[in-house]
Every structure is written in structure tokens, then in C-alpha cells.
A and B are shown apart, each in its own frame.
Chain A
Amino acid sequence: MILKRPSEIEAMADAAVINREALEAVEAALAPGVTTAELNAVAEEVILRSGGRPAFKGYRGFPATLCTSVNEVVVHGIPDERPLSEGDIVSIDVGTFYKGYAADMAKTYAVGEIPDATRRLLDATERSLYAGIERARPGNRLGDVSAAIQDVVEEAGMWVVREFVGHGIGREFHEGPDVPNFGRAGTGPVLRPGLVLAIEPMVALTRTAVIVLDDGWTAPTENGAPAAHFEHTVAVTEDGPRILTAKETMAQTAQGGHDGA
């Protein structure tokens, strides 16, 4: 668990701005018929133009700037030439290094019209992310964040993916501590100002294991259930959680007012 000085958190906020802009560019390009490789090129262009470096590319051999995870793929899908079609959901995960610090963010998008159950999956996953962020305050424990996420997901009757977890982030892309999306309130390390976490609930529509394909990355649900993934890079500050990757100010998020998808 590495605590960051305020100046370091500002540097991470700069990385987070580039990262968010890359994701927004992807969002604007998203449409039925577009391939995930094209989306990857869009994000990479934005990051490089802004003086950043794609954090995923080369990370343990990952070949791309984005993770593009379609439908039953939970995380770490590799962009390819397959076009997205109406009714798909696609999780876009992007990371940026800028001035030595990393930012990490993900969001699941609907391509055109999607079934109601899938829509509820996206809503519940995003709500669970903000419920977790809300608990990322000094004096709380890590388990408070995890339990808040799990509560929202299970209240909605969905399944928290256990095989992957959030993580600390800073000079390294993955730092301690692990941030599971399940756990018990009141357990785990105490959160302190200066800790920066990538909080990222991954949720499947039904109870399932998650497997990893032979490419070593692509992680689909074993039973084929659709899965969603929302992520922010969040700094724990004296004043509460600060979502570095969000556009809105802290005051707005403290009131629970985020703009959603």
C-alpha cells in the first residue's frame, strides 16, 4: 500500500484526464459495424497525441491499448476485426501512463438496443461502482468498499465476479492492495489519505465461474452469461473520495450525481 503526496495525486489526475478523453473518443466512435480494432486505434491516437503512453500495451505481453470485452467476456478481451453488432454490449477498459503515473478506467456500453436484463446488468454494475467509491474514505476499511459493491450487485440478483479484482495504482499499474468486489464491512486494511485505488466491479448476470481462454487474456463467463465492468481511479483524500477519472467535480459525486452512461 503506497500513499501518494498531493503533488503525485495531481500528476495522476493529469494522466486520468488523458485516459478519460481516450474513452470518450471511443464512445463517440462506437456504433454497430465498427470493429474493436478500430476503437483501439482511436484510443491509441488520443493517448499518444496527448503525450501519454498506453499502459496496457506490452503489460505482461498484452498486445493492445484497449481491452475490449464483448458480451460474455468479462475483462481483458483483445481488440480484433470482428464488427460489433446491434444488441452487443462491449466493455472498454483503458489505461494511460503520463509523467510516470498511471490511470485506469472502464465502462460497458450498449451497442444499439439491448435486452432489459442486460440493461439492468449495466445499471447495477455502475451503481455498485459508485456505492464502493462512496466508502473510499479515510478511516474506513477496504472491506467497506468491497461489501458496498457486493451488496448492490446481490441486491439486484446478479453475480460478483471473484476471479478478478481491483487494485492499487500509482507509479506501477498494479500495486497493492487488491480491491475485491466482495467482502465484509469492517475488515481489511484501514484506508488513509493518499491511497489511490482502481475500483472496478465486474458483474455477471447469473452465477458463474470465469475462465481464461488460450490466448492468455480473454476472460469469458463459463456459462455464457453477459458481464459488465465499470472502473474509476479514485484517490482517498481528507475530504473523501476523489474520482480522478471522472469529469464531474467531487461535490457532485458526493451527492451521488453522476451522469451515468
Chain B
Amino acid sequence: MARRRGGGRGGRRGGRSRTENRQKGNETTQDSIRTEGVVLEARPNTTFLVQLDAGPEILAHVGGKMRRHYIRILPGDRVVVEISTYDPEKGRIVYRK
């Protein structure tokens, strides 16, 4: 009998209607690093535990652009994560592979 993992489906909250004309350009700034990882587990409030390819596990939320387009994240997905240089424990999922 298989053991059930915590989590299940994440990203079930609807997208917010935010005006399109935020600052021009990418969410990336010099203050963040982009890396890749694998989603281990869905956590409350559409956050996810992501295992980075470099090793560490970080807590990441789903980027606003992804929410707007209803891109769902499941445990096991490979994702691109942007990590703040101020808090290396936290990140934002910006792309699902």
C-alpha cells in the first residue's frame, strides 16, 4: 500500500486581475539569481518546496505572471526559480518546464 505524500495539487487560486502596465521589462533584476530545480512538495498558500539542482531546498511562491496564465505546478515538475540575493531561502517560480 502506497504512502500518501503531503501536498497534492497546488496553485489552485485564481489569477489576480492586475493591470498589465506595471514597470516595463522582466521581473528579473540584478538582485535575483535564476536557477532550476524540482518541486518536492506543495505547501500552504500556493508556495512550494523546491529542490534546487545545486542542492538546497527553498520555499518558492508562484510568480504573478504564471498565476495570471493559470499555469499549474505539481510536485515533480522542473521549474525555473528566481532567488532573491537578500534571502537565499525564498524564491519565485517563473517558469514550468
Contact = CB atoms under 8 A, between A and B. Distances in A.
Interface of A: 55-56, 59, 62, 67, 75-76, 93, 95, 104, 160, 162-167, 173-174, 178, 180, 182-184, 187, 200, 202, 209, 211-212, 229, 231
Nearest to A75: B2
B76 interface: yes
12 contacts: A76-B1, A163-B7, A167-B3, A178-B3, A178-B5, A182-B38, A187-B51, A209-B8, A209-B9, A211-B9, A212-B4, A229-B2
A164 B5 contact: yes
A104 B1 contact: yes
Contacts of B75: 162-163
Contacts of B7: 163
Q: Size class of B's contact patch? A: 10 to 19
Contacts of B4: 163-164, 212
Given A76-B1, A163-B8, A182-B76, 8 more contacts: A75-B1, A75-B2, A162-B75, A164-B2, A164-B4, A173-B1, A184-B38, A212-B4
B66 interface: no
Interface of B: 1-5, 7-9, 38, 51, 53, 74-76
Contacts, number: 56
Contacts of A184: 38, 51, 53
B76 A160 contact: yes
A59 B2 contact: no
Contact of B74 (A75, A162, A200): A162
